[in-house]
Amino acid sequence: MRLLMILTLTLGLVGMARAQDEPRTLPTTRFGVSLLKENYPQSNPKEALESVLRAIDRNRLEYLVAHLIDPDFVDQQLKTVATAYPTELRTATLKAPIEIQRLIASDATESDNLVELVAIFPDLATPAKKVALAYNPAVKDARLVLDRLRALLFEKIIADVKRKLVDDPESLKTLRRIARDGEVKTSGAKASLVDPLNPSNVVYLKLIDNRWQMENRRDQTAGDAAPAPKAAPANAPPAQDQ
C-alpha cells in the first residue's frame, strides 16, 4: 500500500480547501484534546512529521487526529462519518434544539464540542440570541447527548487511523525514513518531504497558525505506473512476437 494510505482516514475523501492567505487561529483544545506544543512541536515541517511519529509511537492517535493532521480534512471526515452514522443517533441529537441553542449561547467556554458539532449538523446553527438563557434541566441532557455523539464520531476516525497503521507497517517504516532522511521543500505556507529512496513517496504539510499540519494529499507529479504505450497507426502491420 502506498505511504499516504496511512494518512487517508477513509478512501475517496478529500480535505476541504481553504484560502491560504486567510489568517486563522487554531483552537488549543480540539475534541477535548489539549494542545501540547512542548511534547509535539510543529514549528517546521520536519519537526511536525517527527511529532506525528512520536504521537504514533506513544499511542496518542487522538492527539494525532486533533492537532497534527490537516484540520480541514478531519472536519470533512467528521461530516462524512456523521452522515453515515446510525440514524437514531442523529435523531436523538436533534430532539432538543432549543436546549442546545441555549447552551451554545450561554456557555461559550464549555461549548467547544457543540461548536464543532454545529459544523457537522448545520441545522443546529439556528441563531440563539433570542433564546432565553434561564437554566433548563434539559440542557444537561442535551450536552450529554452531544458529547457522546462527538466522542463516537471521533473514536471512529481514530479507529480508522489505527487500522491502517496496523495493516500497513511497511508504510510506517517509509514514513520514518522520510522523517529521518527526506528532503524538505518549502514554499510559503506549503511544504513537502520526499522519500530519498523513492521520490514518488511524498508527505505534504501546510502552515496554519504557525503550526505545520500534515495534509491528506498524494503526489500528482511522480508517476507510479509506466506510461501507456502509444497506439499503433491504423495501417501499421501487426507486431511480430519476439
Evaluate if pTM is beyond 0.75. Answer: no
Residues 6+ apart with CB under 8 A from 15: 70, 72, 73, 76, 215, 216, 217
Residues 101 and 128 sit within 8 Å (Cβ to Cβ): yes
Q: For residue 147, what pLDDT is reported? A: 64
Q: What is the CA radius of gyration of the chain?
A: 22
Where do the domains of the chain lie?
31-99+107-215
C-alpha cell at 108: 461559550
* Residue entry with cell 438563557: 133
Question: How close are the terminal C-alpha atoms of the chain, in Å?
Answer: 34
The larger pLDDT score, comparing residue 97 to residue 206, is at 206
Confidence band of 115 (pLDDT split at 50, 70, 90): low
**DSSP-based three-state secondary structure for 63:** helix
Q: For residue 35, what pLDDT is reported? A: 97
Residues 100 and 114 sit within 8 Å (Cβ to Cβ): yes
Q: For residue 175, what pLDDT is reported? A: 92
pLDDT tens for residues 38-84?
999 999 999 999 999 999 999 999 999 999 999 988 888 777 766 66
Q: What is the mean pLDDT of residues 189-207?
A: 96
C-alpha cell at 37: 506544543
Q: For residue 124, what pLDDT is reported? A: 45
